[in-house]
Structure 1
Amino acid sequence: MKGMIDSMASKSYAEFHQTQPAKTSLFRQQKNGPTYRIPALIYISDAQTFLAFAEERSTPRDSDAKVLVMRRGSHQNGSIQWSPVQTLSSACLPDHRTMNPCPVYERKSKTVFLFFVSILGNTTEERQIVTGRNQSHLCYVTSTDYGLSWSKTTDLTNSVIGDEITNWATFAVGPGHGIQMKNGRLIIPAYVYYIHYRCFPFYFPLYVKPHALSFYSDDRGITWNVGEKISMSSCECEMAEILDHADQSHLYCNARSTHGHRVEALSQSNGAAFDKPHSAQKLVEAHFGCQGSVLSFPVPESSGEEGKKQNDSSTQFDTKTWLVYSHPTDKKKRKDLGVYLNKTPFSTNGWSQPWIINKGPSGYSDMTQYGQNFACLMECGEKSEIEEIAFVEFKLSDVICACNV
C-alpha cells in the first residue's frame, strides 16, 4: 500500500510539474509592424489594479526602440479585464528613444513613479561603451490616478549623477519593477558600464566593466541619490527586501551576468552599498545572459516556519521573508522560463529546482504579488521569445508544490 501511495504521489507531482499557467497575450509582435519587448509589471493594491509596461520598437533591435506602452488590468467578474494599449507619449525627451520601464509605487503619496532611460537617437549601447561617451538620461514620469494619466518627464541625470557621468560609458535602470522598503525608501535597480581606465592623451576607454547599483529616495521621491557599485561584474538587476527575525532589513540584489550564473549581493545599508557579491550556482545564465525578476514575500503562516527562533542553530538562515525568482532555465539559449523558490535567502545555496511556467522560447520577465497570488509578465513565443509579451497568474501553493521544497 505504501508503495502505491508513493507512486501516486510521484505521478501527481510529475503531472503538476509539467503544467503551465494559462497565458493572456498583452503585447503581440505585428507582421510588418512594431515589436514589443522589455516587460515591467506592478500591482497596486490600493486600486486593485495591474500596470503592465513594455517598449514599442519599429524592429526587434535595441536601437529601434521608440516609446513605452502600457495596459491597465482590473479584476471584474472573476477575471482580469485589460484596457487597450496606451502609448505613454509624455515619457520621452526630444530626439531620444525611451527604454527600460521600471515602475515603483510610493504608498504614502499614492504615486506611481515610472523610471526609464532616454537615449539619443539610434545610438547603440555598444557605441557608447566603445567611445566612452554616454548618451543615456535618467528620467521618470509620475501618476497619481493609478496610471490613468501621466506627468511630463523629469530628467535627473545632472542632479543625481552629476560630474560622475564622465566615468559612465552608459547606464540604464532595471528593467522591471522597483520597490519601496519597510522604512519608506524607494529603490530603483540600475546598472552602469563604468570606465575604469582610459588611454591618455586620446581619452578613449581601455577597460569598461558593468556594475549593478541602485538609485534611492528617502523623501517619497522628491530627491534621489545613487548608491555604490557592486564590485563584481554584474548588469541588469532587480532587488528585494529581506527581513530577518529581528525585523532588520537586508536589500537583496539579483543581477545578470555573462559568466554562466547569476550574481547575488546583500546590502546592510538599504542599497547605498552592497557587500560580498557571489555567483549563484543554482541560477544558470545562457552565454550572454538574460534579465530576470525577483520578489520577496512574507513566510506563509501555514508553512510552520514563520515563528522559528533566530538563535536556533538549525535555522540560522531562516528569515521572515522568502524569495521567488523567474528566468529562462536553459544553459544555452533563452527558453523554458522557470520560477525558483528560496526559503533561506541568506544561504548561497537556498534556491529550489525551477518550475517551468513557459515551455519554449522565453526571454525577459517581471513578477508582482497580490495576496497569496503571483503574476508574471514575460516575453515568449512559438519560434522566438520576441513574438509576444504574455501575462500569467499562479498561487504560492503552486510554486511550493511544483518546486517540491
Structure 2
Amino acid sequence: MESRTSTSYSLGLLKEPSRTTLFRQEPCGVTYRIPALIYINDGETFLAFAEKRRTWRDCEAEILVMRRGVHQNGSIQWSPAQELKTAFLPRHRTMNPCPIYERKSKTLYLFFICVLGTTTEQYQIYTGRNKTRLCYVTSKDNGQSWSKTTDLTKSVFGKEFGNFATFAVGPGHGIQMKSGRLIIPAYAYYIHVRCFPFHFPLIVRPHALAFYSDDCGSTWQMGEQVDTSSCECEMAEVIDQDSRSHLYCNARSTQGHRVEALSESSGAAFDKSHFAQKLVEPCRGCQGSVLSFVPSLRAQGEGKNCVTSNANTWLLYSHPTNKRSRKALGVYMNKSPLSASSWCQPWIIHHGPSGYSDLTQFGETESFACLMECGESSELEEIAFVEFSLSDILKSVMT
C-alpha cells in the first residue's frame, strides 16, 4: 500500500489527513482523472474508479480503471489497478464513472458514458450532433467481475435524444433513497433554440438532472432539468424533522458559486434552485461531491458554530475552496440543508492543487473517505484516498 504522511498545513490546529496514492500520472503521459468512490457495506469493500487517458485531455480518455480496498489488520489493503474491459462500446471511449449499489438485489451498477472516437464535448455543443451513449455494467460480487455493457440511450431518451447536444452522468456516486428509488446524477446540454431551416443550434445551455429507477434498476427514466444553468452534479437525500424526504442537488456553475436545488418528487423535477453564496467556484467551475448522513446524538450537541439543524440528516461537500484556481480542496458541513447558505467554513484536506473528488461514508460509524485529484504542482499528478471522521470536521468548525 502506497501512502504519504500529511504535511504540516492546517486549518487552525487541524492538520491535513494522510493520503494514499491510488493512481499516479505516468512518465509517458498516461493520466488518471475523474475519481468515483463507493463503499459496499455488505462486503466491507471500497471501490475506487477513474478514467485512464493517453494524455490529460478529455478526448484522449480510453477506459475505466478500478482498485478494490479491504480493511485488514487496521489498514486498507488495495488491489492492483484493474481495467474494466467490459465497460465499453466499440469505437467509443469510456468516461465519467458513476457507481451505485442496489440494496435489495445486492447489485452494483456502474454507470458511465461512451463517446464516439475523439469527438469533443465542444464539438457536440457547437454542432448539436450528440455522439454520446448512456451505459452501465453490473457486478454481483463487489466488483470482482462485471457484466457486459447495457446501452440505455434509446430507452431513456427516446425521441428527446435529438434535443440534447450532449450529456453525461455524475461524475461521482449515485444514491439509493429510503424509498428504494435509484438516483443517477447527470447533466445535459439542452438545445433551447435552433436556426431554421438548417437546424443549427443557436442557444445551448447545460442543466443538471437525474436518471432514476423504481424497480431495482430494471428500467430507467429521465427527470426534468434544473431550470438554472448547471453542469456536473451530485445528489443526496435529506430527511426533514417530520421524516419527509427531499432530494438535494449540488451542481457545477460558471457563475462563481455552486447551484443548489431541491426536489420534492425524488428527482422527477427540481425547484427552488439558487446560487450558494458560501460555496465558491473557480472561473470555469469544477466538479464537487455531496453526501448526506445521520449524525449521532453526540455529534448533534457539538459544532455550535454552525446554525441550528432543520433536518435529521446533515450534508458534507468537497470541492476546491479557492475562487481563482483549482487548489485547496476543502470539506464543508451543513447541519441545516433545507436552508440556503447554511454551510460551515471548510476544513482544508489538501492545500495544494486539487480538482475533482468523491465522498463516501463507510461502516456504521461517522467515518468518511474522499477520493481526490491532487498534487504538488498540478492536480493531474495523482488520485489519492483519504479517511477522516465527523469529529475531525467538528474540530475544524470549532477552531
Residue 332 of structure 2 is aligned with which of 329, 332, 340? 340
Q: Find 1:261's aligned residue among 257, 262, 274.
A: 257
Note the residue ranges of structure 1 that are not aligned, 5 or more in a row: 1-12, 307-313
**Preserved contact between residue 378 and residue 391 of structure 1 (Cα < 8 Å):** yes
Please state how far the C-alpha of 1:303 moved relative to its aligned partner.
Answer: 3.1
On the 8 A contact 1:139/1:153 being kept in 2, the answer is: yes
Cα distance in 2 for residues equivalent to 1:247 and 1:222 = 28
Q: What are the superposed Cα offsets for residues 156-205 of structure 1, whole Å, 9 maximum, x if unpaired? A: 00001111011000000000000000000000000000000000011110
Q: How does 1:288-367 map to 2 (within 5 A)?
A: 288-304=284-300, 318-367=310-359
- The equivalences for 1:121-270 within 5 A come to 121-270=117-266
* Residue of 23, 40, 45 corresponding to 2:36: 40
Name the CA distance, whole Å, in 2 between partners of 1:162 and 1:64.
Answer: 29
Instruction: Quickly say closer, same or farther: Cα 1:182–1:62, change in 2 above 3 A.
Output: same
Is this contact kept in 2: 1:340–1:403, CA < 8 A? no
- Which residue of 2 is the match for residue 7 of structure 1? none
Task: Provide the aligned length of Structure 1 versus Structure 2.
Answer: 384
Distance 1:14 1:325 in 2: 17
Q: Give CA deviations for 1:137-156 in whole Å, capped at 9, x if unaligned.
A: 00000000000000000000
Deviation at 1:246, TM superposition (A): 1.6
| 1:403 Cα deviation after fit | 2.3
Where does residue 373 of structure 1 map in the other structure?
367
Q: Which amino acid aligns with 2:391?
A: S
Residue pair 1:128, 1:134 contacting (<8 A) in 2 also = yes
Structure 1, 323-332 or 294-303: larger mean CA deviation: 294-303
User: Are 1:92 and 2:92 matched, yes or no?
Assistant: no
What is the CA-CA distance between 1:125 and the residue it aligns to? Answer: 0.1
1:211-264 CA-to-partner distances (Å, cap 9, x unmatched) read 000000000000000000000000000000000112111000000000000000
Are positions 1:402 and 2:396 aligned together? yes
Q: Which residue is 1:30 aligned to?
A: 26
| CA distance in structure 1 between the aligned counterparts of 2:354 and 2:11, rounded to whole angstroms | 22
Q: Hey, what's the Cα distance between the residues in 2 that align with 1:20 and 1:153?
A: 39
Mapped contact 2:29–2:56 kept (Cα < 8 A): no
Please tell me whether the aligned partners of residues 31 and 56 of structure 2 are also in contact (alpha carbons under 8 angstroms).
yes
Residue type of the alignment partner of 2:342:
G
Deviation at 1:14, TM superposition (A): 5.5
Give percent identity, aligned residues only: 68
> d(CA) in 1 for partners of 2:336 and 2:93?
41
Residue 211 of structure 1 aligns to which amino acid in structure 2?
H
One-letter code aligned to 2:18: A
TM-score (norm 1): 0.93
User: Residue 5 of structure 2 aligns with which residue?
Assistant: none
Answer yes or no: is the 8 Å Cα contact 1:299–1:305 preserved in 2: no
Shift of 1:15: 4.3
Task: After superposition, give the CA deviation of every residue in 1:43-85 in whole Å (9 maximum; x if it has no partner).
Answer: 0011000000000000000000000000000000000000000
Amino acid at match of 1:255: A
What is the aligned partner in structure 2 of residue 16 from structure 1? Answer: 13
Shift of 1:304: 4.3
Find the residue that maps to 1:46 and give its secondary structure: helix
Q: TM-score, normalised by structure 2?
A: 0.95
Q: Deviations over 1:349-373 (max 9, x none)?
A: 2101110000110000000001210
What amino acid maps onto 1:173 in structure 2? V
Rg: which structure is higher? 1
Q: Report the RMSD for the aligned CA atoms in angstroms.
A: 1.3
CA distance in 1, matches of 2:191, 2:312: 39
Distance 1:32 1:90 in 2: 25
Out of 26-35 and 324-333, give the one that drifted further: 26-35
Distance 2:313 2:64 in 1: 33
Contact 1:187 1:215 survives alignment (8 Å):
yes
Quick one: which amino acid aligns to residue 80 of structure 2?
P
